[in-house]
């Protein structure tokens, strides 16, 4: 379904992804964990062709995104919903208009069909009473949910979530988790970047830990939780020192930290 | 020393890159012109025309009025010493319509609308809204740049005519009050000496300036990077670059017209 093969990406002189490979199966929900700035968002951007790898291959829905035409890229993108870290809504359109945007601009649907789909999408994220408001008039968490409604309204096969629950209260988080699980039950393939461990364990089929530009660990939920890998343990337990505290991404290397863990 | 040369090279490289990007953007927008004739784009465009006109109306009127008055005051003073104050009408009318009107309006619209376009699109860039559009396969050129370019290409000539009219009006007041040139004499002298070509070149300039303001603003907006500071920088750069282009293009258009 989604395949990244030896993807390397250098940004502003720093290697963010280095030979990263991962395959996400159809219908699977993969959670991508990692410290801030390790390239989780960059990885998601490769999956929709917003970034091209310096070397390596990206394949989505059986089509290569690395050597593709604009039309083919558009065809792939029409099957992908993307929830941006901050919602990325257009601030001069109301919430309902934002959600309707992909339908109005690229699909040719009857107005009643658009209205119905927008209403359903807003109901799913429990924003049905806020459709008329502008993005500036609602809270950050609500904006994020509206962004999710926009990602879902064109009924994609793949949904990519960039930190859908960060900054949300526990109840809003549960709404999102429930929704992700519901999407999963309809067979949608999902990749979710998150820092929220509860959410990760609640929705994931498999969990991946991104470190040093590579997938450091990739396990089923239970195996991940019980993993003996020092990096995974450090991440789960939130220890300050450990293998994740050094490495090419900070540009610092501290062997003392490394010894303390083992 | 080498640092200085390196910085210059870097600057030139960047300028060439930005210029190329802007020209390509302009071509792509023109190629997208057929998309304008959909109900949604038309509506966006009309909204922008309305907002742009309303947003620049007052300041243009005030600046034009005083520019006309200053022209009449200075021109009248020199002409009066030669006993030729009856020539004020033609001097003010020709310079307002050919040069000052388009130029002044372009500067006002650059400062108020061009910087606004750069900041608006720049904000969308840094908050990933442009990326979101691309993922939804909505072309930012068609969706954002096209309506802005068309709106400014229409609003600039209209505001230019308005500015020239107000400026001449201001000048006629000064001519009557300070130099005793009656309103009839003023307008007769103006109308008898004004040629169709003067109006044409004024309009051509204003259309070129409108396209320049929108293209530079959009280019700087789309090239924005690095958060809120980046947005401020994009707006500042849009104003500086458009000012330079307006002066240079204005000179060459005048030269072309006169030769
Ligand atoms: N367009 C870009 N140009 C230059 N550098 C970039 C760009 N995008 C991201 N980076 C850099 O790549 C690194 C990884 O960024 P990314 O946004 O993927 O991090 P992340 O893992 O999503 O972090 P967070 O959890 O904070 O969102 C960062 O150091 C960032 O500065
Ligand atoms: Mg991120």
CATH of the domain at A8: 3.40.50.300
A174 part of a folded domain: no
What gap in Å lies between CA B146 and CA B136, rounded to an integer?
18
| pLDDT averaged over every residue in chain B | 93
pLDDT at A168: 83
Same domain, residue pair A70 and A20: yes
Same domain, residue pair A147 and A223: no
pLDDT at A241: 85
Shortest distance, CA B185 to any CA of chain A (angstroms): 51
How many domains is chain B built from? 1
Of A85, A86, A102, the CB nearest to B136: A102
Q: Would you state the structure tokens that stand for residue B47, as one six-digit string?
A: 């909204």
- Asked if residue A258 has pLDDT above 60, the reply is no
Mutate to test the pocket of ligand 1, among A15, A20, A42 (most ligand atoms within 8 A of CB): A42
For residue A79, give the 3-state DSSP assignment. coil
Hey, whose CA ends up nearest to atom 25 of ligand 1?
A36
A178 part of a folded domain: no
In A35-78, where do the E strands start and end? 55-60, 63-64
Q: pLDDT > 70: what percent of chain B?
A: 100
pLDDT tens-digit profile of A173-224? 898 899 999 999 999 999 999 998 999 999 999 999 999 999 999 999 999 9
A176 part of a folded domain: no
Ligand positioned closest to the Cα atom of A16: 1
Cβ of A185 closer than 6 Å to ligand 1, yes or no, is: no
Strand partners, A3: A23, A59
List, in order, residues 6 or more apart from A18 with CB less than 8 Å away: A8, A212, A213, A214, A248
ipTM: 0.87
Same domain, residue pair A247 and A128: no
Classify residue A58 as exposed, middle or buried by CB count within 10 Å of its CB (0-12, 13-18, 19+): buried
A138 part of a folded domain: yes
| pLDDT averaged over every residue in chain A | 88
Domain that residue B226 falls in: 18-59+101-168+194-258
Residue A55 sits at φ, ψ, to 5 deg, of -150, 160
8 A C-beta contact, residue B103 and residue A59: no
Which ligand 1 atom is nearest residue A39's CA?
Answer: 18
pLDDT at B6: 87
Compute the average pLDDT of residues B145-159.
97
Same domain, residue pair A25 and A136: no
Q: pTM of the full predicted structure? A: 0.88
What gap in Å lies between CA B2 and CA A31, rounded to an integer?
49
pLDDT tens-digit profile of A39-98? 999 999 999 999 999 999 999 999 999 888 888 899 999 999 999 988 899 999 999 999
Mutate to test the pocket of ligand 1, among A10, A41, A54 (most ligand atoms within 8 A of CB): A41
pLDDT tens-digit profile of B205-241? 999 999 999 999 999 999 999 888 999 999 999 999 9
A181 part of a folded domain: no
Q: For residue B128, which residues of chain A lie inside 8 Å, CB to CB?
A: 84-86, 88
How many domains is chain A built from? 2
Same domain, residue pair A249 and A162: yes
Compute the average pLDDT of residues A247-259.
42
Could you say which residues from 26 to 55 on chain A have a Cβ atom under 8 Å away from some Cβ of chain B? 45, 48, 50
- Asked if residue A244 has pLDDT above 90, the reply is no
| Rounded distance from Cα A37 to ligand 1 centre (Å) | 5
B177 part of a folded domain: no
Cβ of A38 closer than 6 Å to ligand 1, yes or no, is: yes
Residue B125's pLDDT band (boundaries 50, 70, 90)? very high
Q: pLDDT > 90: what percent of chain A?
A: 66
Q: For residue B40, which residues of chain A lie inside 8 Å, CB to CB?
A: 104-105
Compute the average pLDDT of residues B18-29.
92
CB A105 to CB B131 under 8 A? no
Is the CB of residue B233 less than 8 Å away from at least one CB of chain A?
no
pLDDT tens-digit profile of B35-60? 888 888 999 999 999 999 999 999 99
- Asked if residue A249 has pLDDT above 50, the reply is no
Q: For residue B137, which residues of chain A lie inside 8 Å, CB to CB?
A: 74, 77-78, 102, 105-106
Question: For A195-230, b where at least 16 C-beta lie within 10 A, e where not — what string?
Answer: ebeebbbbbbebbbbbbbbbbbbbbebeebeebeee
Same domain, residue pair A251 and A165: yes
Residue B1's pLDDT band (boundaries 50, 70, 90)? low
A116 part of a folded domain: yes
CB B135 to CB A50 under 8 A? yes
pLDDT at A262: 33
Is the CB of residue A104 less than 8 Å away from at least one CB of chain B?
yes
B113 part of a folded domain: yes
Same domain, residue pair A261 and A191: yes
Domain that residue A103 falls in: 84-155
Q: How many whole angstroms from its chain centre is CA A242?
A: 26
A242 part of a folded domain: yes
A179 part of a folded domain: no
Of A48, A88, A106, the CB nearest to B129: A88
């Amino acid at each position: 379904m989604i395949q990244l093969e030896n993807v390397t990406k250098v940004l502003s002189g720093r290697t963010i992804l280095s030979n990263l490979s991962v395959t996400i199966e159809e219908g699977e929900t993969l959670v991508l964990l990692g410290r801030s700035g390790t390239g989780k968002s960059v990885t998601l951007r490769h999956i929709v062709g917003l970034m091209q790898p310096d070397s390596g291959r990206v394949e989505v829905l059986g089509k290569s995104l690395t050597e593709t035409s604009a039309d083919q890229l558009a065809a792939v993108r029409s099957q992908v919903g993307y929830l941006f870290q901050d919602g990325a809504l257009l601030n001069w359109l109301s919430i309902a208009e934002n959600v309707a945007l992909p339908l109005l601009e690229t699909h040719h649907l009857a107005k009643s069909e658009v209205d119905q789909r927008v209403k359903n999408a807003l109901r799913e994220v429990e924003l049905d009473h806020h459709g008329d408001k502008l993005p500036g008039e609602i809270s950050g968490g609500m904006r994020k949910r509206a962004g999710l409604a926009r990602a879902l309204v064109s009924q994609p096969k793949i949904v990519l979530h960039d930190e859908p629950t960060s900054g949300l209260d526990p109840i809003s988080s549960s709404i999102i988790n429930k929704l992700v699980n519901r999407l999963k039950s309809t067979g949608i393939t999902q990749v979710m970047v998150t820092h929220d461990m509860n959410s990760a364990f609640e929705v994931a089929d498999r969990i991946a830990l991104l470190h040093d530009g590579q997938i450091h660990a990739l396990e089923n939920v239970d195996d991940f939780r019980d993993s003996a890998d020092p990096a995974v343990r450090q991440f789960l337990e939130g220890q300050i020192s450990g293998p994740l505290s050094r490495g090419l991404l900070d540009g610092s290397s501290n062997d003392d930290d490394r010894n303390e863990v083992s | 020393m080498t640092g200085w040369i390196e910085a210059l090279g870097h600057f030139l490289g960047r300028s060439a890159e930005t210029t190329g990007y802007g020209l390509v953007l302009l071509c792509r927008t023109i190629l997208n012109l057929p998309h304008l004739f959909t109900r949604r784009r038309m509506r966006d465009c009309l909204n922008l025309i309305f907002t742009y006109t309303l947003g620049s109306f007052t300041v243009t009127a005030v600046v034009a009025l005083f520019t006309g008055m200053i022209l009449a005051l200075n021109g009248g003073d020199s002409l009066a010493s030669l006993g030729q104050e009856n020539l004020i009408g033609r001097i003010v009318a020709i310079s307002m319509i050919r040069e000052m009107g388009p130029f002044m309006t372009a500067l006002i619209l650059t400062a108020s609308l061009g910087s606004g376009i750069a900041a608006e699109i720049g904000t969308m860039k840094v908050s990933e809204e442009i990326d979101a559009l691309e993922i939804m396969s909505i072309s930012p050129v068609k969706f954002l740049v096209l309506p802005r370019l068309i709106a400014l290409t229409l609003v600039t000539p209209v505001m230019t005519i308005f500015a020239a009219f107000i400026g001449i009006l201001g000048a006629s007041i000064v001519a009557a009050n300070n130099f005793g040139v009656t309103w009839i004499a003023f307008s007769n002298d103006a109308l008898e000496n004004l040629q169709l070509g003067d109006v044409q070149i004024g309009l051509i300039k204003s259309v070129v300036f409108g396209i320049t303001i929108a293209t530079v603003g959009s280019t700087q907006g789309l090239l924005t990077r690095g958060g809120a500071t980046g947005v401020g920088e994009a707006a500042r750069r849009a104003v500086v670059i458009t000012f330079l282009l307006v002066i240079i293009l204005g000179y060459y258009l005048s030269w072309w017209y006169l030769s």
